[in-house]
């Protein structure tokens, strides 16, 4: 049995992690998993896991921040991309196509329908929800507008983001070896990250904490979206680690995580039972209200309030950890839950 994952993005961040973690869970059923990325994708994450991939067109409209103009452009490109995807699907001949997020979900599910192949769409944006729920089985992740809705549709499933269960078994000693000399093990440690890519507002958040005089290690992770963002990270107690592949080890030295209100990292932190601050509006003004999903485990902050909210968080670390614990097991089981939906779909007739 074979599954083909058609994945949006560059193959380095949360979209690729989502696909890879689901694929690992699906492999437990004896399913061979293959991948397709956009022609322009670097596929760094797949390379690091010694995986190859097919190249097709996977248009992006900007996700939750998509404008009408971008959506119109993406719609034109999607028609051609769907034909290209269908051609690949017929060539690979999988038993199921898994369209992963945004353009990956739309092109994957439409291409699968054209190729008369069962599919499952993994959803987080309004556009992928609008298209994919009409034609196939779907799984809505917490960022999707569907996740917090009361739905009566057996073909729309809900799941937390598919965190790799091994995320909780990091090595603290390895992290301490990899951290630079200026890291002070006697101080509390704050991690700031917007995922694989560092957005400016997260860099500004680190700068604000540095200037606040807080006595802590301030660790920043992610490759800068623009090189000039590095200028914000010059404070004495700011340690910029760039893009790293040892995040599960790093989590073991973190006392408080300042993350974006979306994506894989915030749910990895929940799985690791870390106190969390969601810095709002980092990625194009998006807001997913994950604090309402993980009640009591996440504090929210605007950029101008980050120092004050961080101080408040340090006064309630145990409470935040305790509330994260309530969700940790369910988050760790998400990959298996999604894989089960996909496996069941493999024997269905096409929608």
> Greater confidence, 351 or 303?
303
Using CA atoms, how far residue 220 sits from 56, 181, 186, 279, in Å, is 33, 15, 18, 14
> Greater confidence, 261 or 306?
306
pLDDT 10s digits, 213-250: 999 999 999 999 999 999 999 987 899 999 998 999 99
Does the model's pTM come out above 0.85? yes
pLDDT band for 66, please (50, 70, 90 cuts).
very low
For residue 109, is pLDDT > 90? yes
pLDDT 10s digits, 139-188: 999 999 999 899 889 999 999 999 999 999 999 999 999 999 999 999 99
pLDDT band for 68, please (50, 70, 90 cuts).
low
Q: What is the rounded distance in angstroms from the CA atom of residue 124 to the CA atom of residue 138?
A: 10
- pLDDT value of residue 64: 42
Stretch among 17-21, 42-46, 64-68, 339-343 having the lowest mean pLDDT: 64-68
Domain 2-158 has CATH 3.65.10.10: no
- pLDDT value of residue 65: 47
Q: At what angle do helices 334-346 and 317-332 cross, to 10 degrees?
A: 20
For residue 70, is pLDDT > 60? no
Mean of pLDDT values over 86-114: 96
- pLDDT value of residue 13: 79
Q: What is the rounded distance in angstroms from the CA atom of residue 11 to the CA atom of residue 4?
A: 15
Same CATH topology for 2-158 and 166-332: the answer is yes
pLDDT 10s digits, 272-284: 999 999 999 998 8
pLDDT band for 348, please (50, 70, 90 cuts).
confident
pLDDT band for 345, please (50, 70, 90 cuts).
very high
pLDDT band for 72, please (50, 70, 90 cuts).
low
Q: What is the rounded distance in angstroms from the CA atom of residue 239 to the CA atom of residue 351?
A: 51
According to DSSP, the β-strands at 54-56 and 96-100 are unpaired
- pLDDT value of residue 296: 96
Q: What is the mean pLDDT of the chain?
A: 92
The residues spanned by each domain of the chain are 2-158, 166-332
Mean of pLDDT values over 107-132: 95
Domain 166-332 has CATH 3.40.50.2000: yes
Mean of pLDDT values over 116-128: 94
According to DSSP, the β-strands at 276-279 and 298-301 are parallel
């Amino acid at each position: 049995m074979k599954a083909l994952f058609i994945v949006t993005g560059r193959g380095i961040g949360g979209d690729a992690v989502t696909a890879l973690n689901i694929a690992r869970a699906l492999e437990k059923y004896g399913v061979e998993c293959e991948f397709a990325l956009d022609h322009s994708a670097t596929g760094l994450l797949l390379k690091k896991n010694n995986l190859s991939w097919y190249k097709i067109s996977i248009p992006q409209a900007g996700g939750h921040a998509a404008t009408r103009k971008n959506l119109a452009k993406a719609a034109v490109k999607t028609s051609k991309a769907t034909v290209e995807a269908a051609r690949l699907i017929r060539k690979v001949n999988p038993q199921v196509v898994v369209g992963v997020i945004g353009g990956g979900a739309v092109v994957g599910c439409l291409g699968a329908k054209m190729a008369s192949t069962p599919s499952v769409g993994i959803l987080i944006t309004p556009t992928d929800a609008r298209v994919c729920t009409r034609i196939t089985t779907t799984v809505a992740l917490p960022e999707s507008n569907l996740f917090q809705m009361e739905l009566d549709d057996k073909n729309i499933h809900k799941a937390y983001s598919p965190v790799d269960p091994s995320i909780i078994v990091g090595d603290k000693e390895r992290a301490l070896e990899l951290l630079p000399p200026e890291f002070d093990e006697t101080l509390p440690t704050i991690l700031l990250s917007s995922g694989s890519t560092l957005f400016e507002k997260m860099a500004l958040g680190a700068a604000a904490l540095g200037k606040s005089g807080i006595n802590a290690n301030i660790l920043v992770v992610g490759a800068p979206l623009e090189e000039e963002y590095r200028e914000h990270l010059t404070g004495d107690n700011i340690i910029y680690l760039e893009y790293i592949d040892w995040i599960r080890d790093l989590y073991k030295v973190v006392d408080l995580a300042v993350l974006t209100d979306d994506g894989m990292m915030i749910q990895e932190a929940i799985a690791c039972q870390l106190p969390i601050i969601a810095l709002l509006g980092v990625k194009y003004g998006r807001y997913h209200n994950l604090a309402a999903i993980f009640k009591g485990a996440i504090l929210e902050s605007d950029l101008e309030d980050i120092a004050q909210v961080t101080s408040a968080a340090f006064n309630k670390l145990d409470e935040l950890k305790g509330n994260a614990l309530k969700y940790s097991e369910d988050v760790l089981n998400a990959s298996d839950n999604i894989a089960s939906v996909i496996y069941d779909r493999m024997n269905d007739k096409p929608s």
